[in-house]
Structure 1
Amino acid sequence: MKKITTIAGIVLATASVVALSGCGSSGGDTAANGAEKVVMWGSWSGEQVDQLEAQAAAFNESQDDYEVSYVAQELVEEKLLTALAGGEVPDVVLWDRYQTSLYAPKGALATIDDFVAEDSVDLDAFYEPALGEMEVDGELYGLPLLVDNRSIFYNQTQLDEAGVKAPTTWDELKTAAVALTENDGGSLSRAGFDLSDPGLFNQYLAQAGGSLLNEDETETAFNSAEGLEVLEFWQELMDEGVFEQGFGEGANPFAEGTMAMKYDGPWALSTLEQVDGLEYGVTPPVAGPDGQTGAYMGGFGLVIPEGAKNAEGAWEFMKWWTTQPENGVGFGEISGWIPANIEAANDPFFTDDPHYAAFIETLEYADVRPSVEGFSDVEGKALVPALEQFLAGEITAEQALDQAQEQGDQILADARG
């Protein structure tokens, strides 16, 4: 895999980034060079700030009308609501797309349909599920920027030693996981496969042919034969001893060589590339019992808050970054993130890389979580807690699904009012 360039400490030779603090925005003001200021908020911090500032500098160098600067904000969605109440909002926000259906109805975001129509932006250029997360009630509230999914990371050296190949099906995953598991004096010393994240249930459910919600999205649908099949598969893996809850907690067992396989996202690549002697591969999510594929994508978009002082400048920056493939690839080269622009994501930088290639392949069929109001709470407050109890051996598979269904359906009902 090509090395992801780190830009921590890079000196931006042009268009210095304006230091801003607090919740105020100077959008609509003029910089020293005469360009109109565009203030971008986001939750990214640390080295990611350097990445965003470098991208902003590239935009600033590309034209003379606008100067973008980035301001990191904790709990950016909540900060935006506070800023709206005070009348001082940023011009553009790096936005978790999944939050759009929650915050657009609150009046926090401005529609961009007029901008799109005026500039004849080709919306087919984006992965459709990602674009769909930016739409609410037929109106578009932003453009998708970055995408991700979970694919299987495997330790190539350990697979070779065990005489198994990277799995492509549930059955192959089980066989490989058992072969790769090691115990030392009755204690698990190397996990064959990671089962620590019950949030991946949705991916397994899709592979089994099941659905999270019913057709009209008014009730949960995961308490089904397919949902039970997922938990029975998890139970088979646990009975084989391929993983123990709490194993490797607080560490990176895959990087340390004490976990042979796991589902993870492209954000893990930059860390693993720094591990000396680690030979690993990435393969798309395995197919279910009847050959079904299943994966989910997440990621970020760019939105313009309602009341932004420089919506025009925000739109120009948004359009430059998302609709011009070379700019999406450029950010991928400095950050490791995959663009939501299909042409950019299929650039050789990604497709010729054996690690990224699996993620790009998976994006062809990856879906997004339901955007119906209340579903995030169904996952976070009903489904995942019940699955955690199941994985801990506290309740049966049937009890977990029954409990999650009862609580989840009530959450959806309450959300509908």
Structure 2
Amino acid sequence: MKNMSTPSPRLSRRQLLALGGGVASGLTLAACGTGSGGGGSDPTGGGASGSGTLELWANAGVAGDSDSGLQRAVRAWGEANGVTVNVQGIPTQDLVPKLTTTSSGGSGPDVAIVDVSSVPQLAAAQVLADVTDKADAVTGDFGDELLASSSYDGGLFGLPYTTNNVGLFYNRELLDGAGIAVPTTWQELRDAAIELTGGDQYGYMMGAQGYGAFLFWPWLWQNGGTILSEDLTTATFADDLGQEAFAFYSGLVLEDKVMPPEFVGANASWDQYVAPFVQGRCAMMATGPWGTAPIEEGNPDLDWAVAPLPAGTGSASILGGTTISVGHNSTQSDLAWELVSWLTATEQMPYIQDTGNIPGRRDVIDSEWTAEDPVRQTFVEQMEVARARPALPIWGDIEWGVMANMWDAVIQGQQAPADALAAAAEETNQKLSS
């Protein structure tokens, strides 16, 4: 996919507050956020023996810098077990192509952390190893739906590392100052966004390219629509329900104009996307738990909160997250699995928790850690209505090719929304039948 994952290493507070369209154009895209992290314990728990070197690849946001949760975790395990773990952060748009290319040549990393929506593609291409037998003893530690997101064609190709969905972030001061209640329906969101737009203040943030495509799916589901037919052979997102949802969604841009102008360039990182909200210029935005770290680091005085996404005829959000697995071509698969199983053990969850993400483990999701923070609690509760995207090897081509290009054509005024969505469905059908 060019997958919805996490941003590249955190921007500084000064950078976030100064960020405008295009400033962060070199940053990478993200769907399950990360930031600086710490914590963890007992790195000898994996039982690794001897010495060796492992290569771990992840998108640049998950990899982070030397102080990120993942870097600190693998360093602790490696030092305790005499193993060197080289973590390579790769721009998200390049991660899947690089994994696929190197794997086809017989190489690749020993361990990979990938967006859940790319698991089918990478499993089918023999980039990720089938770990069904290795994971048999620990699968009970994860929820069935999360395990399903790490599976393909009856096999398990990794363990859930993080999970997330999308909620409504809102600026309390701006809403309260205008006497506006937190929106719970589409119309309330639209009315609030229009009311809160004026001068250099805007009501709602949206993104370009794959960001806009990714964030459209909840609207589609909330209107009773579906992405594909049940047998995954035909695009259904441009039927009457889909067109109705897309008309409302695109209308926020084309008719209501409630977005800050730099949204058309917010196509390189989530940091770019959240910047207007962090700066206090945008009242609301839809994003996931990965959006908390840049807010807290970039503008700690901002008065904000998170609510469930406003509902249409029903409630829905989008299930995201990451899977961690062994590389199909790893010559040290047993050692790689020891690292994977250690990183996903209960004792290592603080490394993930400190990034603002929700770990994939059942015992952490159901713990007091969830209940002690209203933001965290909102995302966990919303998991009940979160839906996964189609488990298809070509999904990345659809979401980050067909839909991303379609959305940009719409917001740039090159195509009418209804025509663009219909054309995207036709192109999707061609890909599904080829």
Task: Give the equivalent residue in structure 2 for 1:25.
Answer: none
Q: 1:220 to 1:48 in 2, by over 3 A?
A: farther
- The SS at the match of 1:144 is strand
Indicate whether 1:122 and 2:142 are aligned: no
Match for residue 318 of structure 1?
340
Q: 2:294 aligns with which of 263, 266, 271?
A: 271
Aligned residue in 2 for 1:327 = 348
Q: Note the C-alpha offset of 1:195.
A: 3.3
2:410 to 387, 390, 398: 390
In structure 1, C-alpha distance between the alignment counterparts of 2:391 and 2:185, rounded to whole Å: 29
Specify the code of the residue in structure 2 equivalent to 1:257.
G
Query: TM-score w.r.t. structure 1 length?
Result: 0.81
- Aligned equivalent of 1:93: 112
Render the CA deviation track for 1:283-329: whole Å, top value 9, x for unaligned: 121111x2x1111122211111223222222222222332x33422x
Contact 1:378 1:412 in 2 (8 A): no
Find the aligned partners of 2:397 and 2:73 in 1 and give their Cα distance.
Answer: 34
Is contact 1:196–1:245 with CA below 8 Å preserved after alignment?
no
Identity %: 28
Output one character per residue of 1:251-285: Cα deviation in whole Å (capped at 9) or x when no partner.
61111111100112222211211314310111121
Whether 2:202 is the aligned partner of 1:191: answer yes
- Is residue 371 of structure 1 aligned with residue 391 of structure 2? yes
Q: Distance in 1 between matches of 2:222 and 2:316?
A: 5
Structure 1 residue runs of 4+, over 6 Å off? 12-15
Alpha-carbon displacement from aligned partner over 1:226-245 (angstroms, at most 9, x marks no partner): 11221232355343342365
SS of the counterpart of 2:317? coil
Map of 1:257 onto structure 2: 280
Aligned to 1:355, the other structure's residue is in SS state: helix
The 5 A counterparts of 1:203-214 are 203-214=218-229
Is the alpha carbon distance of 1:310 and 1:229 closer, same or farther for their aligned partners in structure 2, counting shifts above 3 Å?
A: same
In the alignment, does 2:76 pair up with 1:51? no
Structure 1: runs of 5 or more not aligned: 16-28, 184-188
Computing the radius of gyration from Cα coordinates, the structure with the larger value is 1
In the other structure, the counterpart of 1:232 is 247
1:126-205 residue pairs with structure 2 within 5 A?
126-183=142-199, 189-197=200-208, 198-199=212-213, 200-205=215-220
Q: Is the 8 A contact 2:165 2:383 kept in 1?
A: yes
SS of residue matched to 2:374: coil
- Give the drift of 1:351: 2.9
The change in CA–CA distance for 1:209 and 1:269 in structure 2 (over 3 A counts) is same
Gap runs ≥5 in structure 2: 1-33, 267-271
Report if aligned partners of 1:38, 1:91 keep a CA contact under 8 Å in 2.
yes
**How many angstroms does 1:194 deviate by?**
1.7
**2:427 paired with 1:407:** yes
Aligned AA for 2:311?
A
Match of 2:317 in 1: 295
| Secondary structure in 2 matching 1:181 | coil
Partner amino acid, structure 2, of 1:373:
P
What is the Cα-based RMSD across aligned positions, in Å? 3.0
The one-letter amino acid of 1:218's match is T
CA distance in 2, matches of 1:47, 1:242: 35
Residues 47 and 411 of structure 1, relative CA distance in 2, 3 Å threshold: same
> What amino acid is aligned across from residue 287 of structure 1 in structure 2?
A
